[in-house]
Structure 1
Amino acid sequence: MSTNSSSTHLMTEGNILKEILLFSVPLILGNLLQQFYNTFDSIIVGKFVGANALAAVGSSGSLIFLIISFAQGAAVGAGVIVSQYLGGQNRNGVQKAVHTSIAIALFLGVVMSILGVLVSRPLLLWMDTPKEVLPESIVYLKIYFAGTIFTVLYNMVSGILNAVGNSKRSLIYLAIASITNIVLDIVLVALLRMGIAGAAIATVFSQFISCVFSMHFLLKTNESYQVSLKKIRFHKMVCIRIIKVGLPAGIQNTVIAISNVLVQASVNGFGATSMAGFGAYLKVDGFNILPVMSISMAVTTFTGQNFGAGKLDRVKKGMNKTLWIGIIYTIVTGALILLFADPIMRLFTDDPGVVAYGKQAMHYFCPFYWLLSILHGLAGTIRGTGKSIPPMAVLLISLCLFRIFWIQLILPHYTTIDGIFVLYPISWAVGVVLMILYTIFGHWLYPVNHKNKFHQE
């Protein structure tokens, strides 16, 4: 694999729409690939192991996000700082940011792996996981969390590659991981009949593969973001900058993950069939959510580079074009999912109850994904300037506090699962209103002394 100079790409010049699209498309394809092999896990488990195993895989998603969400926030912080130094053409700053980021990932990866294995069973019990699903859920989670260090390290490396404009590289490694995961799913679950454990092993090994390939690239490249093992350490001032951006994002992710766990616990109260249906649909949901997050990451990098270069007008134009990209994408995909709702759900299982719950969720989610694209598009732009606290506050209020309020005070008045499904679009709408208000009235885009902060001194 080549490691020439073309592996760094600045978005501070040229057509804005073209730059954002060229950068975001590999991100979108990469996340879709990742979601595809996660979905393939559920399809194989549902077809060859059964509805309870499908419920176990589906209900694990919120807990997995809960454990690794803080590390994902750190990756966001690292990406913003790397992109800002790169935009300011500060090679020394890029080097310090990259090596500090890897050190943070290694530390968090070890902690997350140990913590995840230890808390799997207690968390599942706290969520009122049905007894018929509990044993398989525990097995899946413990195996998955044992390999969390690979996920955390890959996410950090991917954040670095995206920050320097090399999103195509992440796509290559995710493609390799996807193929590995699919092959192992077929071998371990369908052929060797290893059940839920086989699905978890396939996922962990595929993450290990993507981690190895991405780290190998950083070690071999000749670019400013090259990694040297002996230089991996915490650079105090750079670490503080990463934490200032990443900590709010990490807290935001963690608290939102807690609210998602509460939502999942509410779903669990409706039984294993509802768990399986909702869990299966969440795999489909990822084909909308992950591209939205990819577009948000793209505009964060675009903003970081242009903000670091002092090109504030490009930041505003990039935000507007990003919003249109997200809105158009989510309207089209939401309509397609609704159109093919029944055959999509029957990919996972032939159980009519499970299929019915999944289709019910679709009718509440699909018409409103455009709200989520606006919410994350604005948040991604503002975060790229280094202002991560305001987006954190908005997302915590709408996707966490409001949902907890709803679960505690509104949901008891519902006798069906509709009370949970309708919560999602309403909470997205609350977030959009708050984020638009901050974008208009907040002082998030203002001139700074870029020469001293991001450029070579």
Structure 2
Amino acid sequence: MNSVEFEINEKQRGDLTHGTEWIVILRFALPLLVGNILQQLYNITDSIIVGQFLGKEALAAVSASYFIYYFIISLVIGIGSGTSVVVSQYFGAKQFLKVQQAFSTFFIFMLTGGVILSIMGIIFAEPIFQLTNTPTEVIPPAVRYFRIYIGGTFMFVTFNSVISILRGMGESTRPMTFILIATFLNILFDLLFIIGFGWGIEGAAWATVIAQGIGMYISLRYVDKLHPLLSIKKKDLLFHYSLFREEIKIGLPSSIQQCAISLGLIALLGIVNSFGTDTLTAYGAAGKIDTIITQAMITLSGALAAFCGQNFGAGKFYRAQKGLRITLLINAIVCTIAFISVYFWGDKMMITFTTDTTVIIIGKEYLLIIGAFFIVHGTLNIYNGALRGAGDTIFTMLTSLFSLWLIRIPLAYWLSDKIGRVGIWWGIALSCTIALIITFIYYQTGYWKKKIIIKDRH
């Protein structure tokens, strides 16, 4: 790769600074949505196969591993989101040499960090499960699964780092394709290793690791051989401390936010558990339905972050603001349709997971309360996407921590004591509402504009 600035067609696929705003956003968001849903189905299908063929203890081991693994990799995931913002702004400013430098710096960090996390996870697997009060009978299969799973962390984080960078540059179709291949291979290997070879829970772990490894290899081959701006050749892989500081500055708040959210979910689960098995089962099933639905909101937020990042980098503030208004409108339409769906067919959705009448009733109760606030949750995500695009991740982190730990959990605990389990659902909904009010007021102040990285566009 040349060290000179690349001259490229401004209307190329990855450029989000030209074209009709709503078309550009939707064209970018739709493959992103498919990719996000695939990643959710990836986890759900994995659990279904393990649960159906290996039993409840194996499924419990996989579930316990997921929460711990998510917490461990939150740091590198957050840095990845920060790097995506850095790349999108430099890409929008047409500073393509900086794009490669940010990518190579991030690539080296992720690869190194992934190897370190793999080693630490393998060594400390058993103490970690003991520390989290995992049931005694679940610990042995959980440790066997986790050690293999986390052993492939460097492949997972490298694969996802490439996905993050490409999305920051306005590409969503190829990342979707890479995720689709990895998801298909994971399901195929699950069936082959568990049913065909009889490898047990270790087979499930190997299936995921190998699928992620192939996904990593394909994405890196694309970057190195076909991408006009990125390279992983030895001469181009240099670590740039100044850019790394920018990536850390933006990404570290997201890392802290991800860690706090994962701990908060565990704390909220403790409140749910106090209402018994039916409530816990309904919360788990309805939560999966909620997660699938909210992927549309998360996708719009991610698409707007890349859109705003590029346009802020290009100095096109008017275009970024118009993109925000259009995305808010799209979000309102999507959330209205989603609420209508759970209002009329929420119980039918629950039947996908269980036929227990009590669980279905509780699950629909959850969906109706949370669904009524879909538009609030979605709007909050949209504003957060615009702020991330500007590089202001500190505010989104602080708001997230405040609404989760100082509002949602205490409110859910207090309301559930006063009005029963529905108090938990209302605590979740009201915390989103308060967070949206705070975020909207902050956005209107315009202070976030000072966080934009690109100061000199000449």
TM-score of the pair, normalised by structure 1: 0.87
Q: How does 1:233-252 map to 2 (within 5 A)?
A: 233-252=238-257
Q: Output the CA distance in 1 between the equivalents of 2:418 and 2:196.
A: 43
Q: CA deviation at 1:322?
A: 1.5
Q: What does the per-residue CA deviation read over 1:183-222, in whole Å, with 9 as the maximum and x for residues that have no partner?
A: 2233334555544443333333322222221111111124
Q: Is the CA contact (8 Å cut-off) linking 1:304 and 1:384 kept in structure 2?
A: yes
3-state SS of the aligned residue for 2:341? helix
Q: What is the aligned partner in structure 2 of residue 209 from structure 1? A: 214
Q: CA deviation at 1:377?
A: 0.8
**How far does the alpha carbon of each residue in 1:54-113 deviate from its partner, in whole angstroms, 9 at most, with x for none?**
444445443332122221111111111111111111122112111011012112212333
Q: Given the alignment of the two structures, is residue 435 of structure 1 paired with residue 439 of structure 2, yes or no?
A: yes
Alignment of 1:223-238 (within 5 A): 223-238=228-243
Q: Determine which of 104, 118, 121 is the counterpart of 2:109.
A: 104
Alpha-carbon distance, 1:342 to partner: 4.3
Deviation at 1:375, TM superposition (A): 1.2
| TM-aligned CA deviation for residue 279 of structure 1 | 3.5
Contact 2:122 2:150 in 1 (8 A): yes
What does residue 15 of structure 2 align with? 10
Gaps of 5+ in 1: none
CA distance in structure 1 between the partners assigned to 2:51 and 2:251 by the alignment: 37
C-alpha change, 1:385 and 1:75, in structure 2 (3 Å) is same
Cα distance in 1 for partners of 2:362, 2:205 equals 25
Preserved CA contact (<8 Å) 2:392 2:451: no
Of 307, 315, 328, the match for 2:333: 328
**C-alpha contact 1:375 1:428 (8 A) present in aligned 2:** yes
Alignment of 1:416-431 (within 5 A): 417-431=421-435
Q: Distance in 2 between matches of 1:256 and 1:375?
A: 16
Sort the Cα spacing of 1:45 and 1:424 in 2 relative to 1 into closer, same or farther, 3 A: farther
**Is 1:311 aligned to residue 316 of structure 2?**
yes
Distance 1:403 1:150, change over 3 A: farther
For residue 18 of structure 2, give the secondary structure of its aligned residue in structure 1. Answer: coil
Q: Secondary structure at the match of 1:32?
A: helix
The CA deviation string for residues 411-444 of structure 1, in whole angstroms up to 9 with x for no partner, is 6726954444433222212211111111112422
Q: Cα 1:449–1:363, aligned 2, differ >3 Å: closer, same or farther? A: closer
Structure 2 unaligned regions, length at least 5: 1-7
Q: Which residue of 2 aligns with 1:21?
A: 26
What CA distance in whole angstroms lies between the structure 2 residues aligned with 1:374 and 1:79?
A: 22
Matched ranges for 1:38-437 at <5 A:
38-118=43-123, 120-131=125-136, 133-192=138-197, 194-268=199-273, 275-337=280-342, 339-348=344-353, 358-406=363-411, 410=414, 413=417, 417-437=421-441
Whether the 8 Å contact between 1:277 and 1:358 is mirrored in structure 2 is yes
Alpha carbons 1:327, 1:370 under 8 Å: kept: yes
Alpha-carbon deviations, 1:273-315, whole Å to 9, x = none? 6555544444333312333222211111111111111111111
TM-score, normalised with respect to structure 2: 0.87
Change (3 A) 1:437 1:314: same
Contact 1:100–1:238 (8 Å) recurs in 2: yes
Q: CA deviation at 1:245?
A: 0.9
Instruction: For residue 329 of structure 1, report the CA deviation from its aligned partner.
Output: 2.1
Counterpart pick for 2:38 among 33, 46, 56: 33
Tell me how far 1:336 sits from its aligned partner: 2.9
Q: C-alpha displacement at 1:448, in angstroms?
A: 7.5
Q: Which has the larger displacement, 68-77 or 143-152? A: 143-152
Q: Between Structure 1 and Structure 2, how many residues are aligned?
A: 450
CA distance in 2, matches of 1:449, 1:360: 45
Residue type at the aligned position of 1:284: I
Cα displacement (A) at 1:122: 4.5
Instruction: Give how far 1:46 is off.
Output: 3.4
Deviation digits for residues 316-339 of structure 1, max 9, x if unmatched?
111111122223223323443454
Distance 1:196 1:178, change over 3 A: same
The SS at the match of 1:94 is helix
Q: CA deviation digits over 1:377-427, x for unaligned, max 9?
A: 1011011112221122111211343234346x6267269544444332222
1:432 partner amino acid: L
In structure 2, the CA distance between the partners of 1:38 and 1:7, relative to structure 1 (3 Å rule), is: farther
- Contact preservation (8 Å) 1:55, 1:273: no
Superposed CA offset, 1:257-277 (max 9, x none): 221222234445556665555
Shift of 1:343: 4.6
Deviates more, 1:272-281 or 1:68-77: 272-281
CA contact (8 A) 1:361 1:421 kept: yes
Deviations 1:199-257 (A, max 9, x none): 33333332222222111111112412233244323201111111111111111112222
Q: Give the SS at the match of 2:293.
A: helix
Shift of the 443–249 alpha-carbon distance from structure 1 to 2, 3 Å rule, reads same
Distance 1:51 1:324, change over 3 A: farther
Query: Which moved further from structure 2: 60-69 or 77-86?
Result: 60-69
Bigger mean CA deviation after superposition, 135-144 or 25-34: 135-144
**Letter of the structure 1 residue corresponding to residue 323 of structure 2:** G
